[in-house]
Amino acid sequence: MVESGMKRLVVVSNRLPAALKHEDGRWTVKQGAGGLVTAMAPVLRNRGGVWIGWSGAAEPDVDVEGLLSDFSAEAGYELCTVPLTRQEVDDYYYGFSNEIIWPLFHDLQSRCRFHPRYWRAYLDVNFKFAEVVARRTTSDDYLWIQDYHLMHQAFFLKSMGVKRNTGFFLHIPFPTPDIFMKLPWRWKVIQALTEYDLLGFQTMQDRRNFVRCLRRLMPETRVEGRGAAVTVRLGNRSFRLGAFPISIDYNQFSELAGREDVARKAFELKEALRHRKIILGVDRLDYTKGIPERIRSIQTLLKRYPDLKGRVNFVQIAVPSREEVGEYKDLRQEIEQLVGRVNGEFSIPGWVPVHYHYRNLPVDELVAYYAAADIALVTPLRDGMNLVAKEYCACNNSEDGVLVLSEFAGAAAQLQRNAYLVNPYDMDGIAKALHRALHWDRDERHSSMSKLRDQVRRNNIFWWVDSFLQAGIAKTLGDFPEVET
C-alpha cells in the first residue's frame, strides 16, 4: 500500500458515475457511460473517498443530492455534485469539451468549432468546480482531477490561494505539436497543465507529444530523470510527468463471465445465431470509434470471401452518447443506413449478416456478448486507451477468442504483441485480417489470448491506481513501478 493509503482520495471529473436522465416525465439515476466511469468506479469502491462532478442534469429545481443518495450509500463513497446551468452545459460541455478538445486531441481538427464563447464558459465552469473542490476538501486530501473538461483546476485553486496536492490524468490522447498549436488558447491550456503536481498520460507517445508542445511554447523546459515518471523544471518551478496506461477490474469481468447465468446467456446468444462465428464491436456511439469504417470492412470481407456468407455474423453494440451534438446525430443515421445497405446486399433466407443494437446494456448482458464472440473487432480511428479491448480479453475465459485491434488505440502499445493489429482506415487490410483470424487454429488463438489476459490481469485498474499515486505522493525520484508499454 502506498503512502496515499493515509490520505482521503478525492476524484474530480466532469461526469459522476451516476447520471440523472429525464425519461417518461421523471428523473432516474443511471450508470454514467464511458471508459472514465468504468475505470474509476472500482477504484473508489475499493478505497472509499469522495467523487465530485456534474450530475448530468441542468435543471435548477431537481433534488440532485436526494436522487443520488441511494447510489452513494450503495457505492460506499460520497458523491458531491457541481450544478450546471443549461447554458453552461451547452457551451462548456457540448461546446468547449466536445466540439473543440475532443476532436482536436483525437486528430480530427476539421470537426472543431473554435468559438471564443466556449472558451469563456470553460473557464467559468472550471472556476465553479474549483470553488466546490476548495470548499469540500482539506490540505490532507489527495485531489485527482480527471480528463480534458477540467484542465484548469490546479490553476484556479492556486489563484484562490488554496494549497492542495493535485494530480491530473488525461484519458484521451495528447496530440502532436502540429495539431495542438491550432488551439487558439494553446498557451493558457499548457500553462494550466503545468500547475499540477503530477500529470499522467495514457502512453509514452502522449507523454512525448506533451513534452514537445511544452518545449515549443515554453523553451525554458528541462526534463530530468528516466522511467515511467520524470520531473519537469520550468525556471524555479517543477512538476512530475508520467505514462500510466489505464485498465479495468480484471477479476470482476472474468468472474462475471464465469457466472453460470452469464455463461448460459452467452450460450443462448450463440444458439440464436446458430453457432456461426461471431465478430463483435462494442462502443459508445462516437465518430472516433471508426464504426462506419468497420461496417464497410465487413462489407469488403463478405465481397472478397463469398464462402463466408451464412457462416459469420457481425454484431455491433453502440451505447448512445452526446446525443445533442449534431455530429453524433449524423453519425447515428450514417451507421443505420450502412447497416441497412450491407444487410440488403448480402442477406439470404435465414441469415442477416449485421446485427446492430443501439442501447446501453446491463453489464451481465455485455459480458455475455464478450464471452460469446469469436473475434472482438476494436478499430477506433484514435483512442486514449480503449477499455473494450481489455474487457474482451478479461471475459474470454475459454481463451480461444481473437482480438483485432486498431494500431491507433492506446491499448495497442501494451497489447501489440498478441493482438492482431490493423489500420482502421484500411478496409481491405481489416477484411484480410478478419479472414486470417477466422482461420487461426485453436493453439494459435489460445497462445495469444492467454498472453493478452496475463497482461491485462497484471496491469489491472488497481495496479494503475497504485502507480499513479506512488508517483503523485512519493517524494523521491526513481521510486516507481515499471510501466509496460
Catalytic residue among 106, 171, 283, 286: 171
Q: Measured from the CB of residue 85, what is the shortest distance to ligand G6P in angstroms?
A: 17
Within 27-56, which residues bind ligand ADP (CB under 6 A)?
33-35, 38
148 or 420: CB nearest ligand G6P = 148
Q: Which does 391 bind (CB under 5 to 8 A by kind): ligand ADP, ligand G6P, none?
A: ligand ADP
Cβ neighbourhood burial of 298 (10 Å; 0-12, 13-18, 19+): buried
Nearest to 131 by CA among 189, 82, 169: 82
Kindly list the distances between the CA atom of residue 50 and the CA atoms of 28, 58, 156, in Å, as whole numbers in the listed order: 22, 22, 20
Q: Which does 15 bind (CB under 5 to 8 A by kind): ligand G6P, ligand ADP, none?
A: ligand G6P
15: contact with ligand G6P by CB under 6 A: yes
C-alpha cell read off for 249:
477490474
Q: What is the contact mask toward ligand ADP in residues 344 to 373, using x (rule: CB under 6 A)?
A: ----------------xx----x-------
108: contact with ligand ADP by CB under 6 A: no
Q: What is the contact mask toward ligand G6P in residues 53 to 92, using x (rule: CB under 6 A)?
A: ----------------------------------------
Nearest to 76 by CA among 37, 38, 108, 49: 49
Which of 88, 147, 195, 391 is close enough to bind ligand G6P by CB under 6 A? 147
Q: Cβ(270)–Cβ(372) under 8 Å?
A: yes
Query: What is the distance between the alpha carbons of residues 355 and 405, in angstroms, rounded to a whole number?
Result: 20
Q: Cβ(320)–Cβ(354) under 8 Å?
A: no
Task: Specify whether 441 is catalytic.
Answer: no
Q: Measured from the CB of residue 141, what is the shortest distance to ligand ADP in angstroms?
A: 26
Estimate the crossing angle of helix 461-473 against helix 35-47, to 10 degrees: 70
**314 in helix, strand or coil?**
strand
**Closest residue by beta carbon to ligand ADP:** 35
322: contact with ligand G6P by CB under 6 A: yes
Q: Measured from the CB of residue 179, what is the shortest distance to ligand ADP in angstroms?
A: 19
Q: Which does 282 bind (CB under 5 to 8 A by kind): ligand ADP, ligand G6P, none?
A: ligand ADP
Length of the chain (residues): 485
Which of 7, 27, 31, 34 is close enough to bind ligand G6P by CB under 6 A? 34
386 or 460: CB nearest ligand ADP = 386
Estimate the crossing angle of helix 363-372 against helix 260-272, to 10 degrees: 60
Report the relative pairing of strands 26-31 and 50-54 from DSSP bridges.
unpaired
Kindly list the distances between the CA atom of residue 82 and the CA atoms of 159, 169, 230, 440, in Å, as whole numbers in the listed order: 20, 20, 33, 51
Task: Specify whether 115 is catalytic.
Answer: no
382: contact with ligand G6P by CB under 6 A: no
Look up cell 525556471; give the residue: 235
Query: What is the distance between the alpha carbons of residues 421 and 409, in angstroms, rounded to a whole number?
Result: 10
Nearest to 266 by CA among 291, 393, 256: 256
Name 52's Cβ contacts closer than 8 Å, sequence gap at least 6.
10, 11, 12, 13, 80, 81, 82, 129, 132, 133, 136
413: contact with ligand ADP by CB under 6 A: no
Within 157-176, which residues bind ligand G6P (CB under 6 A)?
171-172
317: contact with ligand ADP by CB under 6 A: yes
Q: What is the contact mask toward ligand ADP in residues 239 to 278, using x (rule: CB under 6 A)?
A: ----------------------------------------
Query: How many residues interact with ligand ADP (rule CB under 6 A)?
Result: 17
Instruction: Point out which residues bind ligand ADP (CB under 6 A).
Output: 33-35, 38, 282-284, 317, 319, 360-361, 366, 385-388, 391
Instruction: Point out which residues bind ligand G6P (CB under 6 A).
Output: 15, 33-36, 147, 171-172, 321-322
- Catalytic positions, written as ranges: 171, 383
